[in-house]
Structure 1
Amino acid sequence: MSILKIENLNVNYGGIQAVSDLNLHIEQGELVTLIGANGAGKTTTLRTITGLVKPKSGTLLYQDQDIRKTEVHNFVRQGLVMVPEGRGIFPKLTVLENLEMGAYYRHDHAAIKDEIDHVMQLFPRLKERATQLAGTLSGGEQQMVAMGRAMLSKPKLLLLDEPSMGLAPIIVQQIFDIIQTIHSQGVTILLVEQNAKLALQISDRGYVMESGKVTMADKADVLLNDPRILSAYLGG
């Protein structure tokens, strides 16, 4: 079953057509990556899925429901959760308070406490810094906060926008290990990522975007070995 289905999506953004006739689907339980150069339309696609940008035309189905007119604040309640590019944490709240914000609409307090404990196990650094202001953390730690906060929202579909951006290589590997762990717990993931090699290595399938259009779509291992992908994105 497709948890997300996009058909013939067109989006104008900043006076230009940022996305053209986009077709994309994600099956329940998949980890799918969307790769492409800067300006290809990847972030605009995520922002359109979550209602932050309104499409010009096309179909957007989440769990078989048309979500084009869904109010932005209702997406999290429906399990559609995004970790934005740049993390979007609350810098003047503590690590713990940031995590609690992920569960702001929930009332199952015992379960929330258990899930915060689980996130702290996934990210031991956050447990050490639970009372520290999130704005004083390193970039990698802030990314962990953003991903942990998203987990408290109980996502059915998690959208990750450039989670490795600006991070040291050793931290990037940690973040990707966590993405795999989250996926192994049954969360469907759409990953937008410039590190094409790492993204494809952990994904089931991939899409390649160029100038607002999907130009290639296949199983991740096929894309990893495609000469065009090797040349354009993997330094081959």
Structure 2
Amino acid sequence: MSIDSTQNHINPVRPDPSTGSGLKADVEGWAGFDKLSPNGIKNSSNSINNCLLEVSDLQVAYGGIQAVKGISLQIAPGELVALIGSNGAGKSTTLKTLAGLLQPVSGEIQYDGNSLKNIAAHQRVSMGIALVPEGRGVFARLTVAENLQMGAYSRNDKSEIASDLVRMYELFPRLAERKDQLAGTLSGGEQQMVAMARALMSRPRLLMLDEPSMGLAPLMVKKIFETISDIAAQGMSILLVEQNAKLALQVAQRGYVMESGAITLSDEAKELLGSEAVQRAYLGG
């Protein structure tokens, strides 16, 4: 996979503990994502003994094909994990299964110590699992503001929803400028912002992103990844599926390599970046 040289240098903005800054526009009250995470999850140790998500021997058949072949992976609270691999490797199928949109043939998914077996997709949203799908999936005939409000459909705390809407506009200033515009008329990058903000409006503990850079201009890719890094730095657990392996591994703490439905390699992100096999297959080395 050839990596565009204009996309190779992402400089994640990390929060300054002394000022609480780090998010765009110095969003007040977001330290530790205490407003977005129902249980106030902060950036804790990334020990895998303390799993938020644990997937064991997951097998998924999709369209008559066994797309996922017994994979296992783990995500700790506050950890950003990248899942990379070639097209058709089963990455998106994995995310859809974790979100409850597809049913596994076998295997176990544990979230916060509880099995997700027979838990419907909408119930998983209420539990704190949010998916930003490949292709963004915005409601084209709704305004930006209406799209974001749809993200909070499982919530009843109207005053907090209003406060979170303000925070989304602070995190994504472009959306504040376009809040009354139909989402279908936005650029691809702006639609990606809508999709991410809509997911955050559900106050997730686990945010899953499926190919957030797909179809975007290099400058917009840089902005999106800086925002992903900002969100992760505030304590959000993130599972990132991304075609641009180098960018994904630059912002992640750990990574998994998936090929033909199976996990073939897993390690710290910096180790995967330096791996000759990964460089040859995904980094243009």
Q: TM-score, normalised by structure 1?
A: 0.98
Q: CA deviation at 1:56?
A: 0.8
- 1:68 Cα deviation after fit: 2.1
**Higher mean C-alpha displacement, 152-161 vs 102-111:** 102-111
Stretches of 4+ aligned residues off by more than 6 angstroms: none
Aligned to 1:114: 163
Rounded to whole Å, the distance in 2 between the matches of 1:52 and 1:104 is 18
After TM superposition, the structure 1 stretch with the greater mean CA deviation from structure 2, 57-66 or 28-37, is 57-66
Of 252, 255, 259 in structure 2, the residue corresponding to residue 210 of structure 1 is: 259
Percent identical residues: 57
Name the Cα RMSD after superposition.
0.7
Correspondences of 1:25-36 after superposition (within 5 Å): 25-36=74-85
Return 5+ residue gaps in structure 1 as ranges. Answer: none
Deviation string 1:8-45 (CA, Å, 9 cap, x unpaired) is 11111111110111010111110000000000000010
2:163 is matched by which residue type in structure 1? Answer: D
- Pair 1:220-2:259 in alignment: no
C-alpha displacement at 1:85, in angstroms? Answer: 0.4
Structure 2: segments with no counterpart, 5+ residues? 1-49
Structure 2 residue 116 is matched with structure 1 residue 67: yes
- Structure 2 match to 1:232: 281
Residue of structure 2 in register with 1:45 after alignment: 94
- What residue identity is the alignment partner of 1:87? R
Deviation, 1:108, is 1.6
Counterparts of 1:64-213 in structure 2 under 5 Å? Answer: 64-213=113-262
Q: Give the whole-Å Cα distance in 2 for the aligned partners of 1:220 and 1:166.
A: 24
Q: Deviations over 1:41-80 (max 9, x none)?
A: 0001001111111111111111111102101111110000
**Aligned-partner Cα distance in 1 for 2:213–2:176:** 21
Could you tell me which amino acid in structure 2 is paired with residue 108 of structure 1? Answer: D
Structure 2: how far apart are the matches of 1:47 and 1:105?
A: 19
C-alpha displacement of 1:119: 0.9
Question: Whole-Å Cα distance in 2 between the matches of residues 68 and 193 of structure 1?
Answer: 27
CA distance in 1 between partners of 2:236 and 2:223 (Å): 18
- Asked if 1:19 corresponds to 2:68, the answer is yes
Report the alpha carbon displacement of residue 109 of structure 1 after superposing the two structures with TM. 1.7
Query: Helix, strand or coil for the counterpart of 2:154?
Result: coil
Larger mean Cα displacement after TM superposition, 24-33 or 98-107: 98-107
| Structure 2 residue identity aligned to 1:10 | Q
| Greater percentage in strand | 1
